[in-house]
Every structure is written in C-alpha cells, then in structure tokens.
Amino acid sequence: MSTATNTNQHYDLDPDIFGAFLDPLRKYSSGLYADPTGTDPADTLENAQIRKLRYVADRLGLEAGSRILDVGCGWGSLILFMAAELDCTAVGISPAPRQHDYIASEARRRGVSARVRTVVGHFEDTPLNEGPFDAISMLGSIVHMPDADAVCRKARTLLRRGGRLYISESCFRNDAMRSRFGERDGSQFVRDAIFGWGDMRPLSTLIRSVEDAGFSVIAVDDLTAHYRRTIDDWITNVDAHADEIDATSPGMAASLRRYLQVANAGWGYTTKHYSLTCVNAR
C-alpha cells in the first residue's frame, strides 16, 4: 500500500463517526473563533467553522461565478458552502470514496448539484481538465501528500493568472522540532495509527515550495490558538457521543480522543497552525 493510499484508512471511515464529533457542516479543519481564548457561549464550533469558510472565501477573493478547486475536499463543507452561499462553481478532489457519496447527497439536498462536482483520486496523479480555476484551496491536505513541491507546481498550472492559492496547515515550528519530536510515540501514533501517513513540514518548507512553484506569498496568518480551541470542542463532542461512535466502530472513541489530545499537546511548543495565501502573479 502506498503512502498516499494509506491516508484513506482515516478519511474513509464511516461518515457517522465524523458526524458525531464535527460541526453540522462536517468541516474537518480549524475553525476561526471570535475569541479563541474566550468563553462566550455564542462562539460555538459551528459558528467558528462558518466564520472560517467566509475567511477563506475572502482570502481567495471569491465572488459569484468564481471557479474553485478544493484539494482534499473532505465531507464537502467548503465546496458546498461556496456553491450555496456565494454561487461559485466548485470542484473537490479526494481519494476517499465514502466522502463523495456524502457530498453528492448533500449537494442534492441543498439544491446545488449543478455547481458542485467531485473527483475520486489523489491530486498528485489525477488529471483535472476543468481549469483554469480562479482559486484553489488546501485545508489540512498537503500534510498527507509526500511531494509538496510537485503539488504546488501542479496547483499553479491549474490556476489562471492572478488566481489565488490558499493553504492552511499544521507545521512543526522548525526543522529542529521536526527532528526532535517527529518520531516520538505520540507523533507516530497520529501519523501511522490514525492517518497512515503524514508530514508536518515547517512553515519555511511550505513557503519554499509555493515560492519555487512560482507563487507570490501575500499573507501568512497564525491560527494556532483557533485550532487548539477547535480540537477542544471536538474532544467535548467525542466524549458526549462516545457510545454512538463505538457502536459504529468499537474502540474508536478512545482512539480519536488520544489522537486529538496528542495534537493539542504540542501547539505553540512543537507545532503551529498557519494559513498561507498565495497568488499566481506571473
């Protein structure tokens, strides 16, 4: 089994597992809270995820009629939102077959089937002949792709001139932290037992990849505190729905909880979470 195929072991789990601990849109990446350190009861996970989608739309300059490609589209939160809220034409690509069935069903339910399409496959080696796109998003997906340089080069070939690339990703703080903590028990558990494969590259490595591909970086934002709060809310949901999760997959609640606790333990010390906004300027 290839490293790329290995990642299917997590993202192709039963959809009901994700429905039990994610927000109603099933967005599986950091939210954006009004105050990630606050206690306002209105600052919910659901509201934070909607705020994050609007933030991504703003960073990408999306408007009615924009054409967007979401790489690693997950359960379709971004492409369904952009199609329904902004009247965009949205294409998603993911190697996990169960996600595509769910997205198609949701697109029909929301009345946006004509503006939403998904492709089953790995971005690196799947032909995409619908470009050029106005925007490409990668929310927590490049971590599962072994050749970041090739991914960024391909993304640029699919973007129109002036089109934007948005990447949000968890990173080791630097190469020293990557070397020191990348092979510890917790890191190995998350990488191998949960995801099958992943590489949290330092921010400097991601920036080099996008710049070497020909992009210009126009914004870098630190969202670490927001991801910590997101995972806190996910853990709360796992605990609240543990019986439901285990009824679908015995022992999964404990496995999810350990993975989320390991992820949250490193924020600010060994790991950070950033968003990069890049433009295909030439």
| Omega before 15 within 30 of 0, i.e. cis | no
Q: Are 230 and 30 in contact (CB under 8 A)?
A: yes
Contacts of 125 (CB under 8 A, 6+ apart): none
**E strands, the chain, where?**
67-71, 89-94, 116-120, 133-139, 159-172, 216-222, 271-279
Q: How far is CA 189 from CA 40, 98, 257, 272, in A?
A: 34, 24, 12, 19
Query: What's the rounded Cα separation, in Å, for the pair 140 and 201?
Result: 12
pTM: 0.94
Answer whether CATH 3.40.50.150 is correct for domain 3-279: yes
Reported as half-sphere exposure (CB side, CA atoms, 13 A), residue 153 has a value of 7
In the structure encoding, which two tokens stand for residue 76, read together? 């379709």
Angle, alpha carbons 157-202-43 (nearest 5°): 90
Per-residue pLDDT 10s for the chain (282 aa) are 344 545 567 888 899 999 999 999 999 999 999 999 988 899 999 999 999 999 999 999 999 999 999 999 999 999 999 999 999 999 999 998 899 999 999 999 999 999 999 999 999 999 998 779 999 999 999 999 999 999 999 999 999 999 999 999 999 888 777 777 767 777 777 777 677 768 889 999 999 999 999 999 999 999 999 999 999 999 999 999 999 999 999 999 999 999 999 999 889 889 999 999 999 997
What is the per-residue pLDDT for 13? 87
Query: What's residue 7's pLDDT?
Result: 55
Q: Are 82 and 58 in contact (CB under 8 A)?
A: no
Sign of the dihedral defined by the CA atoms of residues 90, 97, 223, 275, in that order: negative
